[in-house]
Amino acid sequence: MENTRIVLAQRPQGEPTAADFRIESLPVPALAEGQVLVRHHFLSLDPYMRGRMSDQKSYAAPQPLDEVMIGGTVGVVEASKNAYFQAGDRVLGMGGWQEYAVVDASQRGVLQKLDARLPLSVYLGAVGMPGVTAWYGLTEIIAPVPGHTVAVSAATGAVGSVVGQLAKRRGARVVGIAGGPEKCAYATEVLGFDACLDHRALRSPKELGAALAAAAPSGIDGYFDNVGGGVLDAVMANANAFARIAVCGMIANYNGAPVPMANPQLILSSRLTLRGFIVSEHREAWPKALAELSQLAAEGQLAIRESVAQGIRSAPRAFIGMLRGENFGKQLVKLID
Amino acid sequence: MENTRIVLAQRPQGEPTAADFRIESLPVPALAEGQVLVRHHFLSLDPYMRGRMSDQKSYAAPQPLDEVMIGGTVGVVEASKNAYFQAGDRVLGMGGWQEYAVVDASQRGVLQKLDARLPLSVYLGAVGMPGVTAWYGLTEIIAPVPGHTVAVSAATGAVGSVVGQLAKRRGARVVGIAGGPEKCAYATEVLGFDACLDHRALRSPKELGAALAAAAPSGIDGYFDNVGGGVLDAVMANANAFARIAVCGMIANYNGAPVPMANPQLILSSRLTLRGFIVSEHREAWPKALAELSQLAAEGQLAIRESVAQGIRSAPRAFIGMLRGENFGKQLVKLID
């Protein structure tokens, strides 16, 4: 049996290209005692992966060259030499950019069994790491109360769409920022946001700032930042006193030199709190977050949208497109036919 | 009896000049029922005053033109038509840049009686607003534990000197940043800081960053920011994961255009918290802060240094000098001979 996988061939300079990846096919090795063979159904593509591809100082070790790209996966156990797993079990793991993974499942937590109440792919999105990221930043950092206005960038993405929907459920006015009129229409019509600004039509921070002021007439009390750069600048200029900003992503910076913050003086004059976080460091929050998210998803209370690329060989192109904002909703790669 | 006072004649463009102020002498009015006449012994000069002189959006209303400049004062009651105050009482108030003030003392809190255990001027510095500012940012935002490294800029000033001394008492390693070798010698020899960097000798953020790395070999866990700009950039580059930054002052920005933050990406990659605060909005903290600070001062456990200008007419020049860092310790104007 062959396993096709994608390794990091070289570290990207700026925007990644297909040449930074290499596709390999290798035989699947035989299982040793305690191991499990998982066939991946879906691979998750997430912005954090761009950070791992660099060897700059960061919160996590860089992705090693010539090794399979890191990534979250859901799939089904094909064979098991581990007493806890059986063929047919649905599992979540960090299987990487490949069709199969042989997992030493005796390490606790490395493979998690999934119940059958939701489609497998949902555990990589709204009821997985992106959903918990949204829940943590909104609940633990922004902490909106009814009447607050919450802004969120990358508003229709895997994280942003959950941020806004949870904020609406907590009584906030929600202003999304997304790229393009289709995404904005989805944000207001399907996700239920109160307003959505198309940053592609608002080219300067000043224009975006004016549009934010109109969309948030009482000012912005909380901001879930997935992009940094000029959008963060525009939100800060419209932030109310004591506004809280959860800093979750800086896509604007992933592909090149740091983008400065235009007016840090506002941190003082508006008494802002900015807090960067990585959801994997807050394991204590996961059970509570997943309980709420899976309940909402099971009840059909959470709108979920996915962009699905077909086949492992499509992963690099889908990843590059996601960094450009070409995806619409959670970006997945489907690894079965 | 004449009262000499200083009013704001025009809003400064960039660095304030003497022409932005006007000196006036007016007769002291007769007291009405409930009023108190206070003779000021000391006027406090503080960086926040520069912000008030602008009419840009800020946390407080701008200083009105042609009215006496805002400022904290300590003095002695000369005459009283208020049952609660008597001639000879030592009092703290917001009397402004003038020799005398007629105060409607029936408004609660507008004048506070002071005990006699400390010299009057101390209630404008280490046991006053600057001291409570230091206490709040250190205790409520930075919250150091033994072994942490805390950095503080404007390290020998009214706020910074208290920040560092309190941090030492809480078991932290303290690295000061100050302007000039004399201030740095004072920080290490008198204030007891572990190290002090002279930012005038370290002209680029990169040079300052390298010096910080040497002075804080385990990285920086907390930073009390009194200046913003390149110093903040250099500290952020040396901050440990989960470091907390209390944003208290941005002197670098008061005199002109906003100074950008070089690398906000670090907020995410180092999971930093930055929080701006204004101590007057945290009245709940004052009693606890003042209790600790006055006890330490009375026991001689708090090193206090003052720069004293003589006479109300010297206030504008002393204020301009303070914004340039020419003062050494708490900047006061003495209003009695």
Strand partners, A322: none
Residue count of chain A? 337
Of A228, A262, A272, the CB nearest to B260: A262
Chain B positions in Cβ-Cβ contact with residue A51 (cut-off 8 Å) = 269
Interface test with A, best of B140, B268, B281 (most A CBs within 10 A): B268
**β-strand pairing of A306-310 with A220-225:** unpaired
pLDDT score at B84: 95
Using one digit for the tens of pLDDT, what is the confidence trace for A280-296?
999 999 999 999 999 99
For B95, phi and psi rounded to 5 degrees? Answer: -80, -20
Asked if A280 reaches chain B (Cβ–Cβ under 8 Å), the answer is no
Asked if B270 reaches chain A (Cβ–Cβ under 8 Å), the answer is yes
Is residue B154 within 8 A of residue B183, CB to CB? The reply is: no
Asked if B181 reaches chain A (Cβ–Cβ under 8 Å), the answer is no
Using one digit for the tens of pLDDT, what is the confidence trace for A35-88?
999 999 999 999 899 989 988 777 788 999 999 999 999 999 999 999 999 999
Chain A positions in Cβ-Cβ contact with residue B234 (cut-off 8 Å) = none
Amino acid present at B311: G
In terms of C-beta density within 10 A (0-12 exposed, 13-18 middle, 19 or more buried), how is residue B91 classed? buried
Using one digit for the tens of pLDDT, what is the confidence trace for B202-228?
988 889 999 999 999 999 999 999 999
**β-strand pairing of A195-198 with A330-334:** unpaired
Of B248, B264, B275, the CB nearest to A261: B264
Given CA atoms B161, B163, B169, B174 in this order, what sign does their dihedral have? Answer: negative
Q: Which are the contacts of B62, defined by CB distance < 8 A and separation ≥ 6?
A: B11, B52, B53, B54, B55
Cα–Cα distance for residue pair B40/B212, rounded to 1 Å: 42
Percent of chain A residues topping a pLDDT of 90 = 87
In terms of C-beta density within 10 A (0-12 exposed, 13-18 middle, 19 or more buried), how is residue A147 classed? exposed
Cα–Cα distance for residue pair A155/B125, rounded to 1 Å: 47
Q: Which are the contacts of A129, defined by CB distance < 8 A and separation ≥ 6?
A: A44, A46, A72, A279, A280
Helix axis angle, A286-298 to A129-136, nearest 10°: 110
How is residue B128 written in tokens? 């006053």
Asked if B108 reaches chain A (Cβ–Cβ under 8 Å), the answer is no
Chain B positions in Cβ-Cβ contact with residue A263 (cut-off 8 Å) = 258, 260
Write the CA distances from A219 to A188, A211, B260, integer angstroms.
19, 12, 23
Percent of chain B residues topping a pLDDT of 70 = 98
pLDDT score at A255: 53
Residue range A257-275: mean pLDDT, rounded = 93
User: What is the enclosing helix (H) or strand (E) of B332?
Assistant: strand B330-334
pLDDT score at B252: 56
Confidence of residue A257 (pLDDT cuts 50, 70, 90): confident
Of B267, B269, B274, the CB nearest to A58: B269
Distance from CA of A82 to the nearest CA of B (A): 37
pLDDT score at A107: 83
Tokens 């740095």 belong to which residue? Answer: B184
Q: Spell A288-324 as b/e; 16+ CB within 10 A means b.
A: ebbebbbebbeeeebbbbbbebeebebbbebbbbbbe
Cα–Cα distance for residue pair B227/B229, rounded to 1 Å: 7
Asked if A247 reaches chain B (Cβ–Cβ under 8 Å), the answer is yes
Confidence of residue A258 (pLDDT cuts 50, 70, 90): confident
Asked if A269 reaches chain B (Cβ–Cβ under 8 Å), the answer is yes
Amino acid present at B162: V
Asked if B286 reaches chain A (Cβ–Cβ under 8 Å), the answer is no
Is residue A120 within 8 A of residue A40, CB to CB? The reply is: no
Cα–Cα distance for residue pair B305/B302, rounded to 1 Å: 10
Q: Give the residue on B whose Cα is nearest the Cα of A249.
A: B268
Interface pTM (ipTM) of the complex? 0.92
Q: Judge whether residue A256 has pLDDT over 70.
A: no
Q: Judge whether residue A253 has pLDDT over 60.
A: no
In terms of C-beta density within 10 A (0-12 exposed, 13-18 middle, 19 or more buried), how is residue B184 classed? buried
User: What is the enclosing helix (H) or strand (E) of B139?
Assistant: none
Q: Do A267 and B274 touch (CB under 8 A)?
A: yes
Q: Spell A167-206 as b/e; 16+ CB within 10 A means b.
A: bbebebbbbbbbbbeebbebbeeebebbbbbbbeebeebe
**β-strand pairing of B220-225 with B239-247:** parallel
Residue range A11-39: mean pLDDT, rounded = 96
How is residue A322 written in tokens? 């996601």
Interface test with A, best of B247, B254, B272 (most A CBs within 10 A): B247
Asked if A145 reaches chain B (Cβ–Cβ under 8 Å), the answer is no
Chain A positions in Cβ-Cβ contact with residue B241 (cut-off 8 Å) = 59
Amino acid present at B79: A
Cα–Cα distance for residue pair A10/B81, rounded to 1 Å: 82
pLDDT score at B137: 98
Q: If you average pLDDT over every residue of chain A, what do you get?
A: 95
Q: Do A250 and B273 touch (CB under 8 A)?
A: no
Cα–Cα distance for residue pair B283/B277, rounded to 1 Å: 12
Q: What is the full per-residue pLDDT of chain B (337 aa) written as tens digits?
A: 899 999 999 999 888 999 999 999 999 999 999 999 999 999 999 989 998 998 877 778 899 999 999 999 999 999 999 999 999 999 999 999 999 999 999 888 899 999 899 999 999 999 999 999 999 999 999 999 999 999 999 999 999 999 999 999 999 999 999 999 999 999 999 999 999 999 999 988 889 999 999 999 999 999 999 999 999 999 999 999 999 999 998 865 555 678 999 999 999 999 999 999 999 999 999 999 999 999 999 999 999 999 999 999 999 999 999 999 899 999 999 999 8
Asked if B264 reaches chain A (Cβ–Cβ under 8 Å), the answer is yes
Q: Do B261 and A260 touch (CB under 8 A)?
A: yes
Using one digit for the tens of pLDDT, what is the confidence trace for B14-62?
889 999 999 999 999 999 999 999 999 999 999 899 989 988 777 788 9
Asked if B258 reaches chain A (Cβ–Cβ under 8 Å), the answer is yes
Q: Is B102 helix (H, G, I), strand (E, B) or coil?
A: strand
Q: Do A277 and B271 touch (CB under 8 A)?
A: yes
Half-sphere exposure of B1 (CA within 13 A, CB side): 14
Q: First and final CA of chain B: distance in angstroms? A: 16
| C-beta atoms surrounding B251 within 10 Å | 20
Strand partners, B98: B5
How is residue A41 written in tokens? 């159904």
pLDDT score at A250: 80
User: What is the enclosing helix (H) or strand (E) of B2?
Assistant: strand B2-8
pTM of the model: 0.93
Q: Judge whether residue A22 has pLDDT over 80.
A: yes
Half-sphere exposure of A270 (CA within 13 A, CB side): 24
Cα–Cα distance for residue pair B258/B21, rounded to 1 Å: 24
pLDDT score at B257: 74
Q: Judge whether residue A249 has pLDDT over 90.
A: no
| C-beta atoms surrounding B249 within 10 Å | 25
Asked if B301 reaches chain A (Cβ–Cβ under 8 Å), the answer is no
How is residue B14 written in tokens? 């960039």
Cα–Cα distance for residue pair B116/B46, rounded to 1 Å: 24
Interface test with B, best of A245, A268, A281 (most B CBs within 10 A): A268
Q: Chains A, B: CB contacts under 8 A, how many?
A: 104
